[in-house]
Amino acid sequence: MHETTTIRLSKPIEHDGQTLTEITVRPAILGDMLMADFVEGEQTKQAAIYSSIAGVSLPAFRQLAPADYAKIVTAADALAGNGSAAAPEAPGVMPQV
């Protein structure tokens, strides 16, 4: 079964002509990590990886509030086994199976 986590955004963002109020992240694959090779800057490389995991373009992802970005990072890392098991239980984060 493919596990995902949905994050409710504190501030909506625009992506492909749609207003997003939540973002669903999935476990990372190698292709997500390779997205970092297309951008410069350590922070931008990290954001490129997480935007790929979330299926949101990097320009749209840049609209995120810092607190929402932190929730996405925590949830994605937990799905990858790199975070606390309790991380998806944070407010605004809804684990899904």
> Using CA atoms, how far apart are residues 60 and 8, in angstroms rounded to an integer?
16
The per-residue pLDDT for 95 is 52
Mean pLDDT, rounded, for 61-89: 82
Contact call for residues 46 and 66 (beta carbons, < 8 A): no
Cα dihedral across residues 93, 66, 26, 61: positive or negative:
positive
Contact call for residues 88 and 4 (beta carbons, < 8 A): no
Ranges of each domain in the chain = 4-96
How does DSSP assign 36-83, residue by residue?
GGGS-SHHHHHHHHHHHHHT--HHHHTTS-HHHHHHHHHHHHHHTT-S
Q: Edge-to-edge strand order for the sheet containing 4-15?
A: 18-25, 4-15, 93-96
Q: Per-residue pLDDT tens for 11-55?
A: 999 999 999 999 999 999 999 999 999 999 999 999 999 999 999
Q: Is the pLDDT of residue 82 over 60?
A: yes
State which amino acid sits at residue 36. A
